[in-house]
């Protein structure tokens, strides 16, 4: 696992965007796994800038989003579908039929989840997965006690997540209780994973994920089992890491490594 610590949240977005751009340049038909939330906003803004100013090409890219609230009407501004269109898709040249987002209004949720998993496989699997982290250590909406082998399914949100996400709604009562989410097992199959975190509110979850035991109580700790997972953190989110000095030392020395 690689841990990169930067001074500011802006730097996190820029580094992540450079890594995404490198991936797209190496494989123009990359399958991207995408996340929502406030954390990846800087990454998306930088990708939009790179597309507009440097011609970063998304024409062959396929994307799969991690999750979606269940039950919000399609036009609701807090759907992740709306978020992705507003913050990324409508500003770049990705084809709409190549962007997959779980449906929160499917009549047969179980059949939809099976189809979503199948579609990821049919597209060749996720090459690069972007993740945020919840303050309870969740990735996507894999709340504490989610099986580390879980697949795309419906999940009941934790009280803490509802409270955290209520800032986007007019009241906590308006936050949906259920979501469709890729499972931890689905996420671990991505070839490369980049988790972004910023702010002091994420420090405990990040420390548990990076330095704690692998446990279903902290879904992000499952990334310790992945061969190519990277945490890109600002100083506040890295604030509770016991080995922070070592990670920074590694980064400084890596350029000269044999």
| Active-site amino acid positions | 67, 136, 138, 143
By beta-carbon distance, which residue lies closest to ligand GLP? 132
For the record, the structure tokens of 223 come out as: 């990334």
Q: How far is CA 207 from CA 41, 54, 182, in A?
A: 23, 36, 23
Smallest distance from the beta carbon of 84 to ligand GLP, in angstroms? Answer: 12
Smallest distance from the beta carbon of 219 to ligand GLP, in angstroms? Answer: 10
Smallest distance from the beta carbon of 57 to ligand GLP, in angstroms? Answer: 26
- Going residue by residue from 203 to 242, which x/- string records binding to ligand GLP, judged by CB under 6 A? ----------------------------------------
Q: Which stretch binds ligand GLP (CB under 6 A): 34-42, 101-109, 214-222, 240-248?
A: 34-42
Other CB atoms within 10 Å distance of the CB of residue 214: 12
Rounded CA separation 52/205 (Å): 35
> Within 36-95, which residues bind ligand GLP (CB under 6 A)?
36-39, 66-67
3-state SS class at 192: strand
How many chain residues are in contact with ligand GLP, going by CB under 6 A?
A: 14
200 binds ligand GLP (CB under 6 A): no
Other CB atoms within 10 Å distance of the CB of residue 103: 18
> Within 149-168, which residues bind ligand GLP (CB under 6 A)?
161, 165
Q: Which residue has the tokens 């330095």?
A: 211
DSSP characters over 205-235: HHHHHHHS--BTTBGGGGGGG-TTEEEEEET
Measured in whole angstroms, the distance separating CA 111 from the mean position of its chain's CA atoms is 24
DSSP characters over 165-209: HGGGSSSGGGS-SEEEE--HHHHHTSSEEEEEE-SGGGHHHHHHH
Q: Which stretch binds ligand GLP (CB under 6 A): 15-23, 90-98, 126-134, 241-249?
A: 126-134
Of the residues 42, 102, 104, 132, which one makes contact with ligand GLP according to CB under 6 A: 132
> Which residues bind to ligand GLP, rule: CB under 6 A?
35-39, 66-67, 132-134, 140-141, 161, 165
């Amino acid at each position: 696992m690689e841990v990169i610590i930067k001074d500011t949240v802006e730097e996190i977005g820029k580094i992540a965007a450079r890594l995404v751009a490198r991936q797209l340049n190496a494989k123009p038909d990359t399958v991207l796994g995408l996340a929502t939330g406030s954390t990846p906003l800087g990454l998306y803004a930088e990708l939009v800038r790179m597309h507009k100013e440097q011609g970063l090409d998304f024409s062959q890219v396929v994307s799969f989003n991690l999750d979606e609230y269940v039950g919000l009407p399609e036009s609701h501004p807090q759907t992740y579908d709306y978020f992705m269109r507003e913050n990324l898709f409508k500003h770049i040249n990705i084809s709409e039929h190549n962007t997959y987002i779980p449906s929160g209004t499917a009549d047969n949720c179980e059949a939809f989840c099976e189809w979503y998993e199948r579609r990821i496989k049919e597209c060749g699997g996720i090459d690069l997965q972007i993740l945020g982290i919840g303050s309870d250590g969740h990735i996507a909406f894999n709340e504490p006690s989610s099986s580390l082998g879980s697949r795309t399914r419906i999940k009941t949100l934790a009280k803490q997540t509802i409270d955290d996400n209520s800032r986007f709604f007019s009241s906590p009562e308006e936050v949906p209780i259920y979501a469709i989410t890729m499972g931890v097992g689905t996420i671990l199959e991505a070839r490369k994973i980049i988790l972004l975190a910023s702010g002091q509110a994420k420090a405990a979850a990040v420390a548990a994920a990076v330095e704690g035991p692998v446990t279903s109580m902290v879904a992000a700790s499952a990334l310790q089992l992945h061969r190519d997972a990277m945490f890109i953190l600002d100083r506040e989110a890295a604030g509770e890491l016991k080995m922070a000095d070592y990670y920074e030392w590694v980064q400084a020395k890596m350029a000269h490594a044999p």
